[in-house]
Structure 1
Amino acid sequence: MPQLEVDGASLAYDDEGPRDGGAVPLVFVHGWTANRRRWDHQIAHFSGRRRVIRLDLRGHGESGGAGVRTVEELAKDLLAVLDQLKIERCVLVGHSMGGMIAQTVALSHPDRVERMVLVGSIARMTFSRGRGLLMAASTLVPFKLFVATNIQRAFAPGHPKDEIRAYIRSSADTPREVVMTLYGAMRAFDVLDRVGEIRTPTLMVHGYYDVQLPVGQMLRMAKAYPDATVRILDAGHELPVEKPAELTAAIEAFVNQSSPS
């Protein structure tokens, strides 16, 4: 397992596929409490024909480090990884919090992103007062219950229970400090008023049954994007594992479009 040293943390990553195909690399960024294995289906599909990179974010999976407080700090980690791997330009694919990281990079370094895919992600978390109070109260329950409740509701009804339990165990292995701090960071993240600046062609893929980041909030974001394509799938929030083949096909079709001039 290769690792890169970034600002005092060892970040685990995978770098696969041919370097000489001419296409820019695909870079996959996972979401909150997850790890780079969320992208197994996509990596297996794309690595035979183009360079693909995925990493464990700071404090997640096999990466070390803690103390990260904001989405912007995670974006700096990602940019440092791209620099060390000598990737000047890429197609950036982010799930959930990973999509927030991707938008941050597209805003701060638009020259680094040829295309962007936002999977179950939004630009601002907006909830009713009642839902906001419920979310705040959920942080007061025991940590494992907090994680289990959030992961359980991330899947659409009918998803195999044994798989959900496995993801709950994996998420609960993420350090409590990282989980709770980044939960607050996602709630504070807000670039909705700036997404009109993002000229990068963007694909937004969302689950119809997503209750974590509801589809209506994604559609509100999509209206503000100058160049957005929207796909709605019959799934919940965990699209990379709920509908892996459909998500992969959507990414494939999008990245194979003619590159912007």
Structure 2
Amino acid sequence: MIIKIDNKTVYASDAGQGVDLDKKTIVFLHGSGLSHIVWSLVEQYFSNKNFNVLSIDLPGHGNSEGPCLKSIELIADWLEKVFDQLNLGQIILIGHSQGCLEALEYSHRYKKRLEKIIFIGGSYKMPVHQDLISLAESGDSDAVKLMMKWGYEGSKKFIGGNPIERIIQSPRDIKEMLAVDLIACNNYQNGKVAAEDISCPSLFIFGQLDKMVNIEKGKKFSHMVKNSTQHIINCGHMIMIENAFEMRDKISEFLK
């Protein structure tokens, strides 16, 4: 699906079904430097369960026109423009990593539109090591390797290779997309206030082997949110790729 926001092209993968306003809508938000591709193992599954599914490419990512937005707050406001454009009512928001910060800030600003939220591999704040930011700003491919190492030591086990390397493919991608995202995560400060303000049912899914958002940090986040539940999967940070089947089963249970 392609729409226009602020005269820029926006792409959202919809499992080829478009949007039926009589159905509930699940919106997937990708992490730093990534795109709708990371949700490929879950889109069709939820579409087959009679949901609208929208895996949105943020500006400057995937098939959406740039430039990238430079703060979590700007992304939250941009998402509301997308939902308005599509005439959506209440939505179910699912974010991964940086997408959790976006879902968190969106919930603080536009809570009336939210039915439920699922946070995957996320926290209420995501400080980024200056070494990683510096590598990304210089377009160094080591930035991608560091992301995978800090996310999950066993990244070489991924079928088909490192999933981040297959999306972030050039020094330009690293400088103009990944670096901007990492700085946005590092600068976000409103997470604690937003987390304590969430009023809709929320599910937290964490990876037991995740080194980017460790379990204790994740639990601290989930305990800030009223009416929340959590589930831990034996995998790293890229939960929707490493163990998509268990993840989507737990989400499906939660949505019932």
- How many residue pairs get matched? 251
State the Cα distance separating 1:151 from its structure 2 match: 2.9
Superposition pairs of residues 64-143 of structure 1, within 5 angstroms: 64-125=65-126, 132=129, 134-135=131-132, 138-139=135-136, 143=140
Cα distance in 2 for partners of 1:123, 1:172 equals 29
> Residue 183 of structure 2 corresponds to which residue in structure 1?
184
After superposition, the Cα gap between the structure-2 partners of 1:158 and 1:28, relative to the gap in structure 1 and judged at 3 Å, is closer
Question: Residue 163 of structure 1 aligns to a residue in which SS?
Answer: coil
Preserved contact between residue 38 and residue 240 of structure 1 (Cα < 8 Å): yes
> Residue 3 of structure 1 corresponds to which residue in structure 2?
2
TM-score, with structure 2 as normaliser = 0.88
> Residue 259 of structure 1 corresponds to which residue in structure 2?
none
Q: In the alignment, residue 168 of structure 1 is paired with which amino acid?
A: E
> Residue 41 of structure 2 corresponds to which residue in structure 1?
41
Q: In the alignment, residue 253 of structure 2 is paired with which amino acid?
A: A
State the Cα distance separating 1:15 from its structure 2 match: 2.8
Superposition pairs of residues 205-244 of structure 1, within 5 angstroms: 205-244=205-244
TM-score, with structure 1 as normaliser = 0.87
After superposition, the Cα gap between the structure-2 partners of 1:142 and 1:58, relative to the gap in structure 1 and judged at 3 Å, is closer
Deviations 1:55-108 (A, max 9, x none): 111111111111521011112222111111111211100111111111111110
Q: In the alignment, residue 197 of structure 2 is paired with which amino acid?
A: E
Q: In the alignment, residue 54 of structure 1 is paired with which amino acid?
A: S
Cα distance in 2 for partners of 1:158, 1:180 equals 21
Cα distance in 2 for partners of 1:153, 1:107 equals 29
Question: Residue 203 of structure 2 aligns to a residue in which SS?
Answer: strand
Preserved contact between residue 19 and residue 50 of structure 1 (Cα < 8 Å): no
Preserved contact between residue 198 and residue 225 of structure 1 (Cα < 8 Å): yes
Q: 1:147 aligns with which of 141, 144, 169?
A: 144
Deviations 1:171-229 (A, max 9, x none): 23435222112111101113113311111110000101111122211111111111110
Alpha-carbon RMSD across the aligned residues, in angstroms, is 2.3
Q: In the alignment, residue 44 of structure 1 is paired with which amino acid?
A: Q
State the Cα distance separating 1:41 from its structure 2 match: 1.6
Cα distance in 2 for partners of 1:248, 1:227 equals 20
**Which runs of 5 or more residues in structure 1 are unaligned?**
257-261
**Which runs of 5 or more residues in structure 2 are unaligned?**
none
Q: In the alignment, residue 5 of structure 1 is paired with which amino acid?
A: K
> What percentage of aligned pairs have identical amino acids?
21
